[in-house]
Structures are given as C-alpha cells and as structure tokens.
C-alpha cells in the first residue's frame, strides 16, 4: 500500500470517528494546559462546595484533586467548573470539562446515548423525600396531592413521576433548575416536599435549613442512585486514569494506607503495598503516569475513608452502603497488580 493510499485510509477513519480521535488527546491536553478541569455541583455541602475562603471542598472535589495528584504529582493542579443538572452533560461532551464529578447517577441512557463513560461509583445513594415537620407526615405513601419541589434534567424528576404513578397518587410539581432557588422555595413553604438523593437531603438539611429539626426525611428510599464520576466516550487512556484514581482511594483504605502513614509504607516489605506505592513494578507506566501515582493520591488527598470523614461525617452521614465490602458495604476495588 503506497503513501497516498495510507493517507486516504487515515482520512476515512478520521471522518468515521472524529469523537474518538478528539478524545484520545485528553491526557496530553490536560498535561499541556497544566491542570484538570473538573465539573462539579454549584454547591452541595459534603460533595462540592466552596468554603468561606473560596476553596472547593467535598467528596467529589477530592476525586478531582486525586486525578490531579495522579497526573501531575500535585493535587492543586485542578480547576472547578460549577454546573447545574442541565448543564453538566453538555459541558463534558463539548470538552469544557475533562471530568464530571457532580453527584451524577449512572444509568444506561447516560452511559450509552449521551456519550459518557462512568468510571465507577463513589457514593451509593437512593432518592428520598424531605417534608416540613409541621405537616406530621410519616411516610411517602401519605403524600397524595402534595406540592413537591424538584430539579429538572435529573433522574429525581423521572423517579418521582414513576413512584406516584405506581402508587396511584398525584402530586403538583414545582420545577426549578438552580439548587439555591429550589431550596428557597421549599424552605419558604411554596412546596410541602423536597425530593432528591438522600445524600442531598441530609446535606441541605444540615447545611442550609434555618432549623434542621423542622424538617423530616421520610423512611422510603424509592430508587437506586449509584453516583459516580464520568468522562467522555472514546478515550480509554483517560478513562483508565480516572477509573484507577477512584479505585486507588478505595484500595488504600482497605490496605490501611492513609495520608498519615503513606510515607512509612515506602519501606514496607508487603508486595501489595510495594506495588501500590510504586516501590516495585511499573503500574504507573501502564497508565501513562509516574509509578508513584497512587502514593501521590493518598499522600496529598487521602484514602476514600479519609475523604468521607472529612466531608460527609460532619454533616451526619453514616457509611452504610458506602462502607468497604469487608465491613458490610459495597465499596470494592479490583486488585492493583
């Protein structure tokens, strides 16, 4: 095959798969600009929210910082783009952000037709309902005819309609895009109920309610909401980097490696620990990273448990399903070997 034929074939492939070729450059593009651009919530305590000094903090924020630590050896080389539920997927698809870590539910529709790849689950959740205590409601089955605040463009909106239809009840939706505005409507009494993931209910009750005791989270959990980071389809190398960053945080907790003791782990005789910290093997190189990629994640950001304790425990979250598999939870990372 001559050079002209090769060029023609290459051009044909480019026309057939422009998205794949674009996505293949993600890791190189991130390195070239010097930071990871991460899409996060506009402000959800415990997951992604700026503190009083403007510093972003949360479980999703830590995942973004961990990716920066893996890629650059520096967790500070990350910038955050706050996104509403309706903005988030377009921002990732268009390349505005490199990673979407925005308490987003992994569904088959999003995983296929939206051109996304979910790298895993960093919080197992489910949808619930919060009501004003003065209404004296004890169960979601008592909500027939209720006025319910909900955000558009979410699985929450779809699950809400399914639940009420299945239980032969009716409701009056108050649909508002921005979280701040929908919370203002609920707290002002414009709606009887606010519905979202239970994590979101716990977060806003603990951080936004004028008096948290005035609001009750009902016992029913009406859906499965596996929340996790996502990247664009078509770039397996970047997919691997973000996926194994999440797994490294989970694996570190299982191995007992923390930001406090990871330096001592460099001298460990345990073969699994040696591989993890990069003392032996070339696992980092397999990912296109430095062999100390996982060491840098734990040293600078911490393991999954440390992130949970720093961001979610102060708001009253319990580990529950988000405990390690060997402690009764669902968190399980494939072996790093």
Q: Tell me: the pLDDT tens digits for 207-259? A: 999 999 999 999 999 999 999 999 999 999 999 999 999 999 999 999 999 99
Domain ranges of the chain: 21-124+227-327, 127-223
Task: Please give the Cα distance from 158 to 240 (Å, whole number).
Answer: 31
Across the range 162-179, mean pLDDT stands at 96
Task: Please give the Cα distance from 77 to 187 (Å, whole number).
Answer: 37
Do the Cβ atoms of 202 and 315 come closer than 8 Å? Answer: yes
Please say if the pLDDT value at position 319 is more than 80: yes
Dihedrals phi, psi of 300, to nearest 5 degrees:
-95, -25
Please say if the pLDDT value at position 16 is more than 50: no
Please say if the pLDDT value at position 21 is more than 50: no
**What does the pLDDT read at residue 25?**
85
Helix (H, G, I), strand (E, B) or coil at 40: strand
Across the range 200-213, mean pLDDT stands at 95
**What does the pLDDT read at residue 262?**
98
Contacts 24+ apart (CB under 8 A), 323-332: 324/250, 324/253, 324/254, 326/254, 329/124, 330/121, 330/124, 331/250, 331/253, 331/304, 332/250
Neighbours of 314 (CB within 10 A): 12
**What does the pLDDT read at residue 233?**
94
Q: Residue 276 burial (CB < 10 Å; 0-12/13-18/19+)? A: buried
**What does the pLDDT read at residue 112?**
94
Across the range 14-28, mean pLDDT stands at 56
Place of tokens 């674009």: 22
Across the range 276-295, mean pLDDT stands at 97
Q: Which residue has the higher pLDDT, 326 or 25?
A: 326
Please say if the pLDDT value at position 18 is more than 80: no
Q: How confident is the model at residue 20 (pLDDT cuts 50, 70, 90)?
A: very low
Please say if the pLDDT value at position 38 is more than 70: yes
Flag whether the pTM goes above 0.75. yes
**What does the pLDDT read at residue 188?**
96
Give the whole-number percent of the chain exceeding pLDDT 90. Answer: 92
What's the DSSP call for residue 282?
-
**What does the pLDDT read at residue 284?**
97
The greatest distance separating any two alpha carbons of the chain, rounded to the nearest whole angstrom, comes to: 80
Please say if the pLDDT value at position 22 is more than 70: no
Across the range 155-174, mean pLDDT stands at 97
Task: Pick one of 3.40.640.10, 3.90.105.10, 3.40.190.10, 3.30.1490.150 as the CATH number of 127-223.
Answer: 3.40.190.10
**What does the pLDDT read at residue 296?**
98
Please say if the pLDDT value at position 306 is more than 60: yes
* Token couple for 195: 């519905």
Average pLDDT, the chain: 93
CATH class of segment(s) 21-124+227-327: alpha beta
Please say if the pLDDT value at position 202 is more than 70: yes
CA distances (Å), origin 30, targets 36, 151, 229, 244: 6, 32, 17, 17
Q: Residue 287 burial (CB < 10 Å; 0-12/13-18/19+)? A: buried
Rg (CA), the chain: 22
Q: How confident is the model at residue 131 (pLDDT cuts 50, 70, 90)?
A: very high
Please say if the pLDDT value at position 19 is more than 70: no
What's the DSSP call for residue 266?
T
| Mean pLDDT lowest among 7-21, 97-111, 149-163, 204-218 | 7-21
**What does the pLDDT read at residue 275?**
97
């Amino acid at each position: 095959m001559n050079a002209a034929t090769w060029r023609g074939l290459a051009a044909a492939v480019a026309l057939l798969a422009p998205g794949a070729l674009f996505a293949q450059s993600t890791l190189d593009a991130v390195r070239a600009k010097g930071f990871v651009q991460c899409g996060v919530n506009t402000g959800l305590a415990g997951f992604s929210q700026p503190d009083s000094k403007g510093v972003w903090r949360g479980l999703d924020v830590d995942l973004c910082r961990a990716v920066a630590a893996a890629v650059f050896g520096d967790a500070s080389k990350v910038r955050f783009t706050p996104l509403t539920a309706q903005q988030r997927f377009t921002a990732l698809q268009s390349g505005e952000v490199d990673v979407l870590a925005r308490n987003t539910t992994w569904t088959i529709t999003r995983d296929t037709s939206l051109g996304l790849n979910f790298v895993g689950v960093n919080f197992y959740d489910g949808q619930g309902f919060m009501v004003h205590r003065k209404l004296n409601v004890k169960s979601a089955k008592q909500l027939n005819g209720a006025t319910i605040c909900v955000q558009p463009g979410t699985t929450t909106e779809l699950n809400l309609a399914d639940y009420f239809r299945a239980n032969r009840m009716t409701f009056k939706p108050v649909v508002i895009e921005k979280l701040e505005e929908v919370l203002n409507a609920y707290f002002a009494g414009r709606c009887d109920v606010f519905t979202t993931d239970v994590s979101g209910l716990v977060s806003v009750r603990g951080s936004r309610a004028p008096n948290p005791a005035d609001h009750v989270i009902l016992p029913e959990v009406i859906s499965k909401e596996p929340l996790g980071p996502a990247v664009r389809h078509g770039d397996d190398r970047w997919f691997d980097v973000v996926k194994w960053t999440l797994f490294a945080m989970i694996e570190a907790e299982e191995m007992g490696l923390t930001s406090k003791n990871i330096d001592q782990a460099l001298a460990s005789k345990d073969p699994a620990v040696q591989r993890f910290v990069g003392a032996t093997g070339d696992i980092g190189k397999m990912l296109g990273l430095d062999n100390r990629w996982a060491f840098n994640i734990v040293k600078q950001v911490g393991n999954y448990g440390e992130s949970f304790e720093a961001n979610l425990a102060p708001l009253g979250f319990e580990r529950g399903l988000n405990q390690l598999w060997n402690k009764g939870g669902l968190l399980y990372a494939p072996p790093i070997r």
